[in-house]
Structure 1
Amino acid sequence: MQIFSLKAKLAVSVKGVLMVLQRRLVDRRLLFFDELGEPTKLTEAEFYVGYEKREIEICADQPFLGEVPLVRNVAPDLTCFPASHSQEALRRRRYLEGVMGKDKSELPSEEIMLEELKKIAKLIGDTCAPSISTVRRWASRYIGNNIIRLVPKHNKKGRAAAITGELEGILGSVIDEHYLKDTRPKISKVIGEYHLRLEALNRERLPSEQFILPSGMTVRRYIAKLDPFLVDVARLGKHAANKKHRVAAGVLQVNQILERWEIDHTLLDVLLVDEETGLVIGRPYLTIVLDRYSRMIMGYLLHLSAPNTESVLRVIERSIRPKAELLQRFPKVKNEWRAHGMPARIVPDNAAEFHADDLILGFNDLGIEIMYPASRAPEMKGAVERFFSTQNLGLIHNLPGTTFSNIQEKGDYKSEKHACFTLSQLEAVVVKWIVDGYHQTPHRGLKKMTPAQAWAVDEAQTLVRLPVDLDALECILARRTSVKVHHYGIEVDSIGYHSAELAQLRLLLKPDEKVNVRYRDEAGHVWVHDRFRNVFLLVPVKDKRMIGKSREMWKAAQKALRDAGGEQPSFDELHRCYQELREDIDEARRSQKLRVRREAARAKLDREGRKAETNPPPVVVAEMEWVDRSSTPPTAPSTFKVSYRPPAGDRP
């Protein structure tokens, strides 16, 4: 619950009018000013009566609730004024000290003052000495030998405000109606409407009472003096105004490695090509996990599918595990990648995949705290956002086929023409840049240490925790569901799983009791919880042809058969449909439409960017059996060889 107290800068709404408490007067009354600068004085009793009647409301969105702001100021010195004004103050003090002396506090007689002023003027080179009345005026200000009081008050000079009184009230209504709008109209519209209203009023007034129309520049100067925050709230929106005028008064303190991870996705500014056809398939996504203390990259995931819960679970698992086995896939990487271990907390954004129940339950099991930032607040995970910018400037925008960050940077560059990287080639480049480049570059936020050095220094003083059983880590960072156990085993996404241990577990379960199951996109096996022994059983798929297949593609095959009118398709029909989808993908990858090629390439790869079917059944790729779909059966089976040559314009 928020609280408030009557202190300076407290913002309230009095009968719908926004006012700010300026100060307490001598008689203890409260002095408020509205948006137009009009004062309002209230006693504390009047304020609290209005507060209880709901006529006075406290603005909830302000920085002066619940605490008294501590403001400490220091008076200005001569350097805070223009040089000519400072020199004039020193000149005036020279005359006063010459006339009064450094220890005297009174001026001498006029005869003595005239002689002394002439001597000082001659000494310092003035053509004319100041008059006695001028010196007396200076002496009246020079209290306590404070030279600042002798500085000319030129800053208080200037013409009087041209828009006041009734003119100001009319302009305020015009500004509210025609300027403080989310459509962001121009000031010229305000000037035109203001002049039209004044001219309409002048037609109803006597010549001696008519308004003098302020110039357009006068109106612009008036608008420029409005509260910029209130203007931005009306024109940009409350969230955008808060972000624009936010105050970063503190510094995030992270004391050791693995204390705070930041995770985010980005769509890389580079086009990829298919590894077989050479045709452009679109831009990939990159998911990054970064350790805030050392700025080390804990893990990554390069993929074509849009980020979801499965991709987040995979990148977290990769971030926790050591990277020695992963680096074996990239022999050109020279340095170690020592980042590994269990984090204390992780900071994602507010995307849907970070709020999934499976993800939250997995993090709870691992003891990882999730710190969700405020909505649309990327500055809460600024380190990983900064990494994406560094990567774009240092790597991605230097690759052939880059799309750059905007059309101005891209210019006439033909991204599709120069695209040549496949997904696996880009992954090798990204990993080498991270390990041999970014990790070995001095970082300003690390006091010129490299991320690798910062990690190595703190790793010697920090207890790095790792899971004892990597199968347990896989089981925790997995999707979750509950199913019944039948005599034929269990089904997850219409795929059957069974084992001898599962059959024994079924004998102990109550009728219609469900068991907890953990599974991944790869359909080869699932984990089933045995509550009697309190362990998870690895249950393999019943049909070994499903090993290495993607659940998403299997669901697509089921949907295709259902849409075709099949109610209970058999496994053979599903498997045949799955293979036909694979053939459709191969055909789509040669399509002239970028969207079709991207969908095909995405379906061909799993969540880690590898081919989805790691153990495919033996087939002849170069030859296909001819199936005649006409009513007359073919006279004899035949085969034909399939060859394809892309058009000249599409060759890499």
Structure 2
Amino acid sequence: MQTFLLKAKLVVVINGTTMSLQRRLVDRRLLFFDELGEPTTLTEYEFQLGYERREIEISEEQPYLGEVPHVRNVAPDLTCFPLKQREEALRRRRYLEGVMEGNTILPNKESLKEKLAEVAANLKDASVPSVSTIRRWYSRFVGGSVVKLVPKHTDKGRSNVISGELEEILKNVIDEIYLQLQRHTISVVVGEYLKRVDEKNALRLPTDQLTKPCGMTVRRYIAKLDPYEVDVRRIGKHAAKKKHRVAGELLVVDGILDRWEIDHTQLDVQLVDEETGLVIGRPYITVVLDKFSRMIMGYLLHLAAPNTETVLRVIERSIRPKAAFLERFPKVQNEWRAHGLPARLVPDNAAEFHADDLIAGFNELGIEIMYPRSRGPELKGSVERFFRTQNLGLIHNLPGTTFSNIQQKGDYKSEKHACFTLAQLEASVVKWIVDGYHQTPHRGLNGKTPAQIWASGEACRLIKLPVDPDALECILARRSLVQVHHYGIEIDGYGYHCPELSELRARLKPKEKISVRYRDEIDHVWVHDRFRNVFLQVHIKDKSMLGLSRELLKAAKKALKESGNFNPSFEQVHQCYRDIRDDVEQARRSQKIRTRRAVARAKLDKDGWKIRAAKPQIVSAEMDWLDKPITTGIATPFKVTYRRPDTGSKS
């Protein structure tokens, strides 16, 4: 018959969940952890009751049945004790060796006294131990270990005066006041505890009074509580896990493209609009990093909040080779060799990483998505660490930086010094990544650079790429089912048509819907022809929409409708698009920015499309005032009201 003991590492099954006994807490409760690290505490009575009811079973698949679990260890040596205690242990051994003179037993009492006097004289020790003391030392000096002669000062200490009814009162006070999210101080606990003890004593006879402990005794009791359990109650479970996390194992990645990590962050820098020169806010960056080589596989700078389209575009850029992409940045000197299809991707649990379109595309490409547990940024720590490196190495050195916190920022005026546009920032980011970060020795790579690790990894890895780049674009796209009409198809209110689509419509059943793939770029969509089993590229009918963003056009229409114009014209939509393309809700942080932005932002009223600019910016002192009407760059001009600074008259 097998037996078990309530010792550490005992594996049990509680209501179907496998748990391991961690330790006993100060109040003698049993602390269990499940496979995900979730804690559970039980008293011995609760454990025994569950064991009798068969709600708690002892797992047979463990090495701790029939024996006391233990961890291999080595006894402490003399250096583990304070200096004064070490010197005392050596002094005692000299006395024992002096009186024994190589024998294994002590001499008789008379001889022992004489030898003790001789040893004390040689050691010049005024405090000669007695015969009974020497015999006590001898009984402990088994095997000649000097550690056995170390004084037992470590066993000394105060006895616990808080016990019985006093302890029950204190436990209630700690549970009701101290172990709460309000995080009351220990002084509050001490005051409430002494008050409750006084209330108890008021109802007792003088001979039956409870002895009130001092405040330091209560503080020592609280200090012995389990730190993790205290933090769970005072700062929350997730914060306590992060504070007490233990990195017991090392993540091993076999080679390049085995594990990608992806994440977003908002950069600590203010950008300005290319046309108006006004501050438009802080951009976001989405980064994909190869865990093995620390190479940046791809990035995407955007002012809108991260969404599914953002993830699809940055993954597509990460897979593709970067040679054609780097032609946009002539100042970059080194190659960006990172490319290829990965084996797995590690995101966080944001909504954009759970979209059906993204999961369907990854399944087709054979990319495994490894979702970490909630609030576990350390599970993709490499990309998180990259953001800090980027801030310290680049972002915090740019004009208009906001720094990481108000202490670092000091009196620096970010809005005043902001001068970088989105295009200029992107050029700096690419230059820093390719010529800086990829060429810098990395501590986690044994002093090698990410570019060197990637180059050596390419020699022993077959890098896969899609045969057709258009197929990759079609796979990593948004998906929808639409009906084909005589005028083509509509996606988000924009028409698409081509001769092949007309032929496809003639062969479809009445009201049959077809699959369409589309991206944020409004130029074209991909239509599935089930008869030939191919995707057809269908371009937009209105060629004036080429190069525009689908999401920002939606925002433009929404802004116009909120202003009261429920039937905006084509020119109004385009003007509104220009005004808000770099000005999204997440990029405007303060009332000051919104006030300055309102000067150049389009406004609608019942009379038509107008802009009121009370203080036009003077680009040059020699610039002449315009006598020509100002236009928007589109077919229909709009009226501008401004005031001459010299005369004050309106024009």
TM range, normalised to the smaller chain? Answer: 0.7 to 0.9
* 2:571 counterpart residue number: 576
Q: Cα distance 1:215–1:331, how it changes in 2: closer, same or farther (>3 A)?
A: same
User: Within 5 Å, which residues of 2 pair with 1:89-238?
Assistant: 89-102=89-102, 104-238=103-237
- Partner-residue secondary structure (3-state), 2:28: strand
Deviation at 1:168? 1.4
Partners of 1:599 and 1:344 lie apart in 2 by 48
Is this contact kept in 1: 2:403–2:409, CA < 8 A? yes
Deviation at 1:173? 1.0
Partners of 1:116 and 1:251 lie apart in 2 by 60
Is this contact kept in 1: 2:29–2:44, CA < 8 A? no
Deviation at 1:556? 4.2
Deviation at 1:121? 1.9
Letter in 1 for 2:297: M
Deviation at 1:13? 13
Identify which range, 268-277 or 65-74, moves more after superposition.
65-74
Deviation at 1:402? 1.1
Partners of 1:387 and 1:506 lie apart in 2 by 50
User: Within 5 Å, which residues of 2 pair with 1:235-634?
Assistant: 235-556=234-555, 558-559=557-558, 574-582=569-577, 585=580, 594-595=593-594, 623-624=629-630
Q: Cα distance 1:409–1:148, how it changes in 2: closer, same or farther (>3 A)?
A: same
- Partner-residue secondary structure (3-state), 1:539: strand
* 2:614 counterpart residue number: none
Is this contact kept in 1: 2:278–2:597, CA < 8 A? no
Superimposed CA distance per residue, residues 26-47 of structure 1 (whole angstroms, 9 cap, x where no aligned partner): xxxxxx93389xx987799x65
Letter in 2 for 1:141: R
Is this contact kept in 2: 1:5–1:66, CA < 8 A? no
Letter in 1 for 2:405: N
Q: Cα distance 1:40–1:438, how it changes in 2: closer, same or farther (>3 A)?
A: closer
Identify which range, 203-212 or 5-14, moves more after superposition.
5-14
Partners of 2:21 and 2:305 lie apart in 1 by 48
Deviation at 1:76? 0.9
Deviation at 1:226? 0.7
Partners of 1:592 and 1:149 lie apart in 2 by 73
Identify which range, 577-586 or 529-538, moves more after superposition.
577-586
Partners of 1:400 and 1:265 lie apart in 2 by 22
Identify which range, 298-307 or 583-592, moves more after superposition.
583-592
Partners of 1:386 and 1:21 lie apart in 2 by 32
Partners of 2:349 and 2:582 lie apart in 1 by 38
Superimposed CA distance per residue, residues 162-217 of structure 1 (whole angstroms, 9 cap, x where no aligned partner): 32222111111111111111111111110110111111122222333323322212
- Partner-residue secondary structure (3-state), 2:53: helix
Deviation at 1:434? 1.1
Partners of 1:250 and 1:454 lie apart in 2 by 23
Deviation at 1:75? 1.1
Letter in 2 for 1:51: R
Deviation at 1:150? 0.8
- Partner-residue secondary structure (3-state), 1:33: coil
- Partner-residue secondary structure (3-state), 2:515: strand
* 1:51 counterpart residue number: 53
Partners of 1:372 and 1:645 lie apart in 2 by 60
Superimposed CA distance per residue, residues 96-136 of structure 1 (whole angstroms, 9 cap, x where no aligned partner): 1222244x321111222222222222223322321111100
RMSD value, Cα: 3.8
Letter in 2 for 1:576: E
Superimposed CA distance per residue, residues 613-639 of structure 1 (whole angstroms, 9 cap, x where no aligned partner): xxxxxxxx974579xxxxxxxxxx999
Residue 34 (structure 1) aligned to one of 29, 43, 61: 29
**Which stretches in structure 2 are left out of the alignment for 5+ residues?**
15-19, 32-41, 603-626, 646-651
Partners of 1:151 and 1:451 lie apart in 2 by 54
Identify which range, 81-90 or 587-596, moves more after superposition.
587-596
* 1:632 counterpart residue number: none
Letter in 2 for 1:579: H
Letter in 1 for 2:53: Y
Partners of 1:386 and 1:600 lie apart in 2 by 39
Is this contact kept in 2: 1:100–1:107, CA < 8 A? yes
Partners of 2:364 and 2:274 lie apart in 1 by 40
Is this contact kept in 1: 2:267–2:283, CA < 8 A? yes
Is this contact kept in 2: 1:557–1:574, CA < 8 A? no
Is this contact kept in 1: 2:477–2:519, CA < 8 A? yes
Is this contact kept in 2: 1:98–1:116, CA < 8 A? yes
Is this contact kept in 2: 1:624–1:641, CA < 8 A? yes
What is the percentage of aligned positions where both structures have the same residue?
A: 63
Taking structure 1 as the reference length, the TM-score comes to 0.82
Is this contact kept in 2: 1:296–1:455, CA < 8 A? yes
Q: Cα distance 1:51–1:645, how it changes in 2: closer, same or farther (>3 A)?
A: farther
Partners of 1:491 and 1:391 lie apart in 2 by 42
- Partner-residue secondary structure (3-state), 1:286: strand
Is this contact kept in 2: 1:553–1:578, CA < 8 A? no
Letter in 1 for 2:290: D
Partners of 1:349 and 1:601 lie apart in 2 by 38
